[in-house]
Amino acid sequence: MQKRTDNFSKFANQKKGSAVKEAFRQEKKKIKQDARAAGEEMRQRKKDKMRGLVTEPLKKSTKPGARKGAPPSRDAAYRGESTARPTGSARPITPAKTSRTKDFQATPVAGMPAPIALKTAEQMPLNKFIAHAGVCGRREAAELVKGGKVVVNGDKIFEPGFKVAQTDKVIVKGKQVYLQKNAVYILLNKPKDYITTANDPEGRKTVLDIIKGATPERVYPVGRLDRNTTGVLLLTNDGELAQKLTHPSFEIKKIYEVTLDRPVAKKDLEAVLAGVTLEDGFVAADACGYANAKDKNVVGIEIHSGRNRIVRRIFEHLGYDVRGLDRVMFANLTKKNVDRGKYRFLQEKEVRLLKFMNKSFVRKSKEEA
């Protein structure tokens, strides 16, 4: 008993060292706060300059986040109220008139939703803002930012995680974008000879041509289907959901009906289940079998991998020529009662299941299994 007490005292008496460490942590924390405040101050000054407020160089602040001689309310400046202050550190000026092209102004088209009423201080990563504006998914948005296609408040931004608020002016490829107010979810039974992109430089038909006029909202396809692949395709302006459904970590279930140039041997079905090694790595199907016992040219395959052209490449690796590929299920969505080339809006229950990643179409973790 005495021994345990002595051991405890040995650790308890080491207060001096812990106190030193705590002081070091507090000092480090203060330095970070000062740096964060300075960065925020710089961004605020840039916004003030764009809104017509010219400020004198500020003296170094003695407190974290303090802004000596901060400009007055920007709303007051727009109303024409006096913005004079005792220190005289800021004075209102009339913004110079500049010529702008139609693309730069990017006036919202009829039916375009108004920006969501967010608090001015509420911020989000730039790629998330673009996704929620219905331009594309988060990963595609990140590529747009890195490629220098996005301008925020007049500055070209290259960092997808750059924080923006609802009041910031975000321009993507020359057009201003706004946060979407109304989420739209459309299920399309994609026909052949249509590509799954918003537009095509070569002038080919896209899936958006099929749903033209269905909604005033700007929607885009979730994931990709080859030009000659048919079946279930989801289109939405919900960037958060699109990110989840396409991210490899969620392993969303997909079922395809594959029509091949010759009967599939049983050993090849077993090989698909056991897994094959392609040029980009190993892949195995979750289920595979004949779709019709009398027609062994047609095979059904369930797979979670979202790699490009994965089903075609699996069978081509085994020496088959894919004559037809039809996706009959994506997550919990099927093409039941939707003819080829037709579409419908998702029901509330279907959207709810998608958003909460229902276990029926998301692969279980190893622990759960």
Whose structure tokens read 């007049």?
A: 154
Contact in structure between 144 and 130 (CB atoms under 8 Å): yes
Q: Which of 34, 168, 226, 286 is catalytic?
A: 226
Q: Which of 47, 49, 36 is nearest to 168 (CA)?
A: 47
Catalytic annotation present for 339 = no
C-alpha span between 142 and 198 (Å, rounded)? 17
How far apart CA 175 and CA 149 sit, in angstroms, is 10
Question: Rounded to whole angstroms, how far apart are CA atoms 186 and 207?
Answer: 11
Question: How far apart are alpha carbons 255 and 334 in whole angstroms?
Answer: 9
Q: In Å, what is the CA distance from 62 to each residue of 32, 57, 67, 72, 89?
A: 14, 15, 9, 20, 18
Q: What is the CB neighbour count within 10 angstroms for residue 320?
A: 20
Q: What angle do CA 20, 26, 32 make, to 5 degrees?
A: 140
d(CA 240, CA 44): 28
Q: In this structure, what DSSP letter does residue 252 have? A: B
The DSSP line for 5-50 is HHHHHHHHTTHHHHHHHHHHHHHHHHHHHHHHHHHHHHHHHHHHHH
* Integer Cα distance of 330 and 352 in angstroms: 15
Q: Give catalytic residues, as residue numbers.
A: 226
